């Protein structure tokens, strides 16, 4: 006798599989017979195994549509050109790490970034799935100082502490690349250092202000989100890291400017000689513009692909028109689509948007270490200090991490 939740799961999977296969058949021009045959096979396989294995085409197209359906993303015009790496046969942390290093290399492509997704083994019914603990392949550590200040990226405080408790030692600079933590089902999480040479970074300079270089800022070339779950036809891929290229404002207006990140606006404004004691000087706004100029200038100088927010907005509106031609809407979260600099100067600001969840799609997942009750087994010192509770109780940053 199945429990109610098992029955619901059962209905969900078959419903989602059917919906996706219908979409796939429509968009990939499958005949009605092919569709019927494939659905029958899926239902049969489901009866025997409680799940089903997608074809490489179903997986590849599903990943592209998941990007198309991502309501936070302004760069979706390129959805069809996503490179999909079918790595579903990989399950061990060691193999996954090696594949990630390869992903970083080929996607960075010496600066000519290639949007890429690596899809590792799907979640099996009733089992936990593979998780990459880092929110992105490349993140800078954040170190809490005794006086409460932070060196590095404040967003990564918890992960940095976990890495340290698993034996990692950072150099203590503002830009230490965190090791990756990968957890396979029934295995303890494992820690891996990224080889330095695969991580491309861009030193930040300004076309007009020579002092800008002295700020010692840099950022990595590849934005690769690694903690979201991909769902296609009812099947979950909890480890399916993907990357595009940066829009300059992500770095200039958020990573460098947010007060809870690198908080550089006051520093830049002072260097520019602006009156930071008067709101009327609009010093924050002016410093923000120059930071964005510096990011664009530096990425271009080092041959690293990046898009400014005006071009990104234009491309998004073009994508909108192309989708309309295909009789599809572009689901979008307006607040996350408009750029975090001069939004009203871009067309997307004046476009009304419908924030609906279509599938396939990417979904955020619970923070893995917040869910674990036995943290102590892999990081013994955790239980002997208030750290564990502190981790559990720390409210997760609610400011838009993407
Ligand atoms: N906003 C994130 C960051 O600054 C990256 C999110 C994904 N961005 C992208 N362009 N694909 O690191």
Is residue 120 in some structural domain? yes
The answer on 79 and 2 residing in a single domain is no
The average confidence (pLDDT) of the chain is 94
Helical packing angle, 4-27 and 32-49, nearest 10°: 150
Predicted confidence band of residue 9 (pLDDT cuts 50, 70, 90): confident
Alpha carbons 308 and 247: distance in angstroms, whole number: 6
User: What is the whole-number distance in angstroms between the Cα of residue 224 and the centre of ligand 1?
Assistant: 7
The answer on 105 and 1 residing in a single domain is no
Strand, coil or helix: what is 193?
coil
Number of domains in the chain: 2
Alpha carbons 133 and 130: distance in angstroms, whole number: 10
Residue of 58, 67, 68, 73 marked active site? 73
Is residue 354 in some structural domain? no
Residue of 161, 231, 250, 290 marked active site? 250
Q: Can you tell me which atom of ligand 1 is nearest the CA of 245?
A: 10
pLDDT, mean of residues 241-266 = 98
User: What is the whole-number distance in angstroms between the Cα of residue 293 and the centre of ligand 1?
Assistant: 18
pLDDT, mean of residues 83-112 = 98
User: What is the whole-number distance in angstroms between the Cα of residue 277 and the centre of ligand 1?
Assistant: 32
Taken as a whole, the chain contains a residue count of 402
73 is catalytic: yes
The per-residue pLDDT for range 27-70, each reduced to its tens digit, is 999 999 999 999 999 999 999 999 999 999 999 999 999 999 99
**What is the model's pLDDT at position 225?**
98
Are 233 and 16 in contact by the 8 Å Cβ rule? The answer is yes
Most informative mutation of 221, 246, 336 for ligand 1 (most atoms within 8 A of CB): 246
**What is the model's pLDDT at position 146?**
97
Predicted confidence band of residue 375 (pLDDT cuts 50, 70, 90): low
Burial (0-12, 13-18, 19+ Cβ within 10 Å), 111: middle
pLDDT, mean of residues 107-114 = 99
User: What is the whole-number distance in angstroms between the Cα of residue 250 and the centre of ligand 1?
Assistant: 6
**What is the model's pLDDT at position 398?**
38
Among 118, 120, 122, 119, CA closest to 49: 122
- What pairing do the DSSP bridges indicate for beta strands 246-247 and 306-307? parallel
Strand, coil or helix: what is 179?
coil
**What is the model's pLDDT at position 373?**
76
| Ligand 1 site residues, Cβ closer than 6 angstroms | 136, 223, 225, 244, 246-247, 250-251, 255, 402
The answer on 249 and 290 residing in a single domain is yes
Most informative mutation of 155, 218, 402 for ligand 1 (most atoms within 8 A of CB): 402
Query: Whose C-alpha lies nearest to ligand 1, atom 4?
Result: 250
The per-residue pLDDT for range 127-181, each reduced to its tens digit, is 999 999 999 999 999 999 999 999 999 999 999 999 999 999 999 999 999 999 9
N- to C-terminal Cα separation, the chain: 43
The per-residue pLDDT for range 177-192, each reduced to its tens digit, is 999 999 999 999 999 9
pLDDT, mean of residues 19-34 = 98
163 is catalytic: no
Q: What one-character DSSP code corresponds to residue 188?
A: -
From 52, 67, 90, the end of a domain falls on: 52
DSSP string of 3-16?
Answer: -HHHHHHHHHHHHH
Among 259, 343, 253, CA closest to 290: 253
Are 317 and 348 in contact by the 8 Å Cβ rule? The answer is yes
Among 322, 96, 309, 132, CA closest to 228: 132
**What is the model's pLDDT at position 222?**
99
The answer on 10 and 159 residing in a single domain is no
pLDDT, mean of residues 213-239 = 98
Query: Whose C-alpha lies nearest to ligand 1, atom 12?
Result: 223
Query: Whose C-alpha lies nearest to ligand 1, atom 2?
Result: 402
Most informative mutation of 223, 226, 227, 296 for ligand 1 (most atoms within 8 A of CB): 223
Query: Whose C-alpha lies nearest to ligand 1, atom 1?
Result: 402
Residue of 58, 67, 68, 76 marked active site? 76
**What is the model's pLDDT at position 390?**
43
- The yes-or-no verdict on residue 77 having pLDDT over 50 is yes
**What is the model's pLDDT at position 386?**
38
- What pairing do the DSSP bridges indicate for beta strands 228-232 and 235-237? antiparallel
- The yes-or-no verdict on residue 355 having pLDDT over 80 is yes
**What is the model's pLDDT at position 378?**
60
Range of the domain at 30: 1-52
The answer on 129 and 7 residing in a single domain is no
Report residue 191 CA to chain centroid gap: 20
38 is catalytic: no
The answer on 142 and 9 residing in a single domain is no
The answer on 341 and 228 residing in a single domain is yes
For CA atoms 27, 29, 31, 36, give the dihedral sign.
negative
The per-residue pLDDT for range 81-93, each reduced to its tens digit, is 999 999 999 999 9
Predicted confidence band of residue 396 (pLDDT cuts 50, 70, 90): very low
The answer on 371 and 333 residing in a single domain is yes
- Angstrom CA distances, 397 to 46, 112, 241, 260, 372, stand at 39, 32, 21, 10, 19
Is residue 274 in some structural domain? yes
Among 246, 268, 16, 43, CA closest to 138: 246
Q: Can you tell me which atom of ligand 1 is nearest the CA of 139?
A: 12
The per-residue pLDDT for range 281-340, each reduced to its tens digit, is 999 999 999 999 999 999 999 999 999 999 999 999 999 999 999 999 999 999 999 999
Among 86, 5, 14, CA closest to 51: 14
The answer on 230 and 376 residing in a single domain is yes
Is residue 401 in some structural domain? no
The answer on 156 and 204 residing in a single domain is yes
The answer on 182 and 58 residing in a single domain is yes
The answer on 34 and 150 residing in a single domain is no
53 is catalytic: no
Alpha carbons 387 and 392: distance in angstroms, whole number: 9
Of the two residues 375 and 55, the one the predictor is more confident about is: 55
User: What's the longest Cα–Cα distance across the chain?
Assistant: 74
Is residue 402 in some structural domain? no
Bond before 230 cis per omega within 30 degrees: no
Is residue 357 in some structural domain? no
**What is the model's pLDDT at position 2?**
79
Is residue 358 in some structural domain? no
Predicted confidence band of residue 387 (pLDDT cuts 50, 70, 90): very low
Quote the pTM value. 0.94
- The yes-or-no verdict on residue 400 having pLDDT over 60 is no
From 35, 52, 69, the end of a domain falls on: 52
**What is the model's pLDDT at position 402?**
56
Q: What are phi and psi of 30, to 5 degrees?
A: -80, 145
């Amino acid at each position: 006798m199945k429990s109610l939740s098992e029955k619901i799961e059962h209905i969900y999977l078959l419903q989602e599989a059917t919906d996706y296969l219908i979409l796939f058949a429509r968009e990939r021009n499958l005949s009605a017979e092919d569709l019927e045959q494939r659905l029958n096979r899926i239902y049969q396989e489901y009866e025997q195994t409680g799940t089903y294995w997608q074809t490489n085409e179903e997986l590849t197209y599903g990943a592209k549509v998941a990007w198309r359906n991502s309501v936070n993303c302004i760069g979706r015009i390129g959805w069809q050109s996503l490179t999909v790496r079918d790595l579903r046969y990989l399950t061990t942390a060691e193999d996954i790490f090696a594949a990630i290093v390869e992903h970083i290399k080929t996607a960075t492509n010496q600066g000519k970034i290639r949007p890429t997704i690596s899809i590792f083994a799907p979640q099996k019914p009733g089992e936990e799935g593979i998780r990459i603990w880092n929110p992105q392949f490349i993140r800078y550590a954040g170190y809490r100082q005794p006086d409460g200040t932070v060196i590095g990226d404040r967003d990564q405080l918890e992960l940095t502490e976990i890495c340290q408790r698993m034996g990692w030692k950072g150099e203590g600079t503002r830009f230490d690349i965190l090791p990756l933590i990968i957890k396979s089902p029934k295995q303890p999480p494992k820690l891996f250092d990224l080889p330095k040479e695969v991580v491309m970074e861009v030193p930040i300079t300004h076309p007009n202000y020579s002092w800008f270089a002295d700020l010692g800022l840099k950022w990595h070339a590849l934005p690769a989100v690694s903690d979201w779950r991909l769902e296609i036809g009812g099947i979950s891929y909890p480890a399916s890291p993907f990357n595009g290229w940066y829009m300059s404002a992500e770095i200039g207006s958020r990573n460098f400017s947010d007060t809870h990140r690198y908080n550089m606006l006051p520093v830049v404004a002072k260097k520019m000689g602006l009156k930071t004691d008067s709101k009327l000087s609009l010093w924050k706004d002016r410093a923000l513009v120059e930071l964005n100029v510096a990011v664009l200038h530096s990425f271009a100088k080092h041959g690293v692909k990046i898009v400014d927010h005006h071009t990104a907005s234009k491309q998004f509106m073009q994508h909108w028109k192309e989708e309309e031609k295909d009789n599809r809407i572009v689901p979008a979260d307006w607040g996350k689509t408009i750029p975090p600099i001069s939004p009203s100067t871009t067309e997307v600001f004046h476009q009304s948007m419908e924030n609906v969840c279509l599938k396939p799609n990417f979904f955020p997942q619970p923070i893995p270490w917040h869910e674990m009750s036995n943290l102590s087994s892999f990081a013994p010192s955790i239980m002997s200090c208030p750290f564990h509770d502190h981790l559990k109780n720390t409210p997760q940053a609610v400011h838009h991490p993407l």
